[in-house]
Amino acid sequence: MAKFNPDIDIPDLAGQVFLITGGTAGLGARTALRLAQHDAAKIYITGRNAPAAEALIASAGNTSPNSNPTITFLPCDFTSLASVHSAAQTFLARESRLDVLICNAGVMATPPSLTSDGYESQFGINHLGHAMLIRTLLPLLRSSSPSPRIVLLTSLGWQLHPRGGINFDQLTTPMECKLGGSWLRYGQSKLANVVYARELSKRVPGVEVVSVHPGVVRTGLVDGLGWVKYGFVWVTNLGRLVSADEGCWNTLWAATGPTGGRVNGGFYEPVGVLSRTVEGKEDWLDEVGGRLWQWTEGVLGGFALEEIP
């Protein structure tokens, strides 16, 4: 684990603009408050829970006696590509700068279901919605910030993916199966986060993109699991669950650390350390990533997005 203390290692963020998805609770909320402590100019948080957003915004003024953070709630439903695209357009209409996009929103081990667009829900929320947001905001990221960054939250759970990685031919189905289906669906969505970061780093020069594992964090995502799934998480992690504040450290390191301190496209876990879980799998990850890129571009093709080879 890299030596990192968010109290002293996050630099002054004056003038910088951040956008955090799923920022009304859990890791996203803690990330927003930590950034506010270091005088980020503006912090946007997406979500569906307006009261939770209002409570967070009210509490942000107490994060530091010297800070006057501007946190803005951006309503957004990641089960709908149209909602994500609309939220991105709202952001573009309000702002002329974006320094860091933190793709934090997500679901875990949920029952079989489809998004409103007809895609497997975990894949739709964890990957496809974020791909829409990234692709819509890329021109602003590239043009407005001297060192633009994208941080995608993934998980060591990517290793639970189905055989072959991503079942592309089943992504428009709920992908129901009797044994471990919720974890297989989760695994492939988290694999998508890892390989999409790799693809973006190769295809979009001038933007630093990394994926990070926050640890297994005591948030609503974990606490809301049924007792069987919670037991699986607890046992497989030897009971090592961390707080939401500690869970956001890897994100903060990636989002605010010195420029050039990371491998572009890399997957980091624990904080600041390249994950060994991808060693020896680079060719396969690139193969899956290339196919995911083409599939994703096909899905998003109905929206007016900047073309990327």
What are 257-309's pLDDT values in tens digits? Answer: 988 889 999 999 989 999 999 999 999 999 999 999 999 999 999 998 998 98
Residue 148 or 4, more confident = 148
Task: Find the range with the poorest average confidence among 103-112, 131-140, 220-229.
Answer: 220-229
Pick from 5-14, 19-28, 226-235: least confident: 226-235
pLDDT number for residue 260: 81
Smallest CA-to-CA distance from 168 within 293, 306, 27 is with 293
Q: Pick the residue with more confidence: 62 or 232?
A: 62
Helix, strand or coil for residue 71?
strand
What pLDDT is stored for residue 218 in this prediction? 52
3-state secondary structure 18-69: EEECCCCCHHHHHHHHHHHHCCCCEEEEEECCHHHHHHHHHHHCCCCCCCCC
Q: What is the mean pLDDT of residues 156-180?
A: 91
Tell me what the mean pLDDT of segment 161-184 comes to: 90
By the 8 A CB rule, do 64 and 77 touch?
no
Class for the domain spanning 6-299 = alpha beta
119 is known as an active-site residue: no
pLDDT per residue over 205-223, tens digit each? 999 999 999 977 654 444 4
Residue type for 208, please?
E
**Marked catalytic residue, from 42, 44, 119, 190:** 190
Residue 173 — pLDDT band, cuts 50, 70, 90?
Answer: very high
Mean pLDDT score, 173-192: 90
Half-sphere exposure of 83 toward its Cβ, with a 13 Å CA cutoff? Answer: 18
Residue 58 is encoded by which pair of tokens? 């009210």
Structure tokens at 69: 């953070």
Contact 259, 147 (CB under 8 A): yes
Indicate if 178 belongs to the active site.
Answer: no
Q: How far apart, in whole angstroms, are the C-alpha atoms of residue 35 and residue 42?
A: 9
Q: What pLDDT, on the 0 to 100 scale, is given for residue 238?
A: 35
Cα 303 from Cα 305, distance rounded (Å): 6
* 194: enclosing H helix or E strand: helix 181-203
The residue-averaged pLDDT of 47-57 equals 95
Q: Is the pLDDT of residue 64 over 70?
A: no
At residue 63, the pLDDT reads 64
Q: How confident is the model at residue 239, as a pLDDT?
A: 38
- β-pair type (100-103, 149-153): parallel
DSSP β-ladder status, 17-20 and 208-212: unpaired
Q: How many CB atoms lie within 10 A of CB 259?
A: 9
- In the chain, the DSSP E strands lie at 17-20, 42-47, 70-75, 100-103, 149-153, 208-212, 267-268
Q: Tell me the pLDDT of the chain averaged across its residues.
A: 89
Q: Which three-class secondary structure state does DSSP give residue 205?
A: coil
In order of 6, 43, 99, the CA distances from 15 in angstroms are: 19, 11, 9
What is the band of 234 on the pLDDT scale with cuts at 50, 70, 90? very low
- d(CA 174, CA 186) in angstroms, rounded, equals 12
- State how far the Cα of 255 lies from the Cα of 257, in Å rounded to an integer: 6
Cα–Cα distances in angstroms (integers) from residue 141 to residues 1, 129, 221, in the given order: 29, 18, 29
Catalytic residue (one of 44, 119, 186, 268):
186
Say yes or no to pLDDT of 241 above 80: no
**Residue 178: what pLDDT?**
65
Q: Return the pLDDT at 225.
A: 46
The domain segmentation of the chain, as residue ranges, is: 6-299
In the predicted structure, residue 235 carries a pLDDT above the cut 70? no
Spatial distance between the Cα atoms of 67 and 61, rounded to a whole number of angstroms = 7
Identify the band that residue 60 occupies on the pLDDT scale cut at 50, 70 and 90: confident
Report the Cα 106 to chain-centroid distance in Å: 7
User: pLDDT value at position 222?
Assistant: 47
List, in order, residues 6 or more apart from 190 with CB less than 8 Å away.
126, 154, 155, 157, 158, 160, 161
pLDDT at 69 over 70: no
- Rounded Cα distance between 270 and 76, Å, is 30
pLDDT above 70 covers a percentage of the chain that reads 88
Residue 152's alpha-carbon distances to 6, 155, 224, in angstroms, are 19, 10, 22
How does pLDDT run across 21-44, given as a tens digit for each residue? 999 998 999 999 999 999 999 999
Q: Which of 249, 270, 284 is nearest to 156 (CA)?
A: 270
Q: If pLDDT is split at 50, 70 and 90, which confidence band does 188 have?
A: very high
pLDDT interval class at 67 (50, 70, 90): low
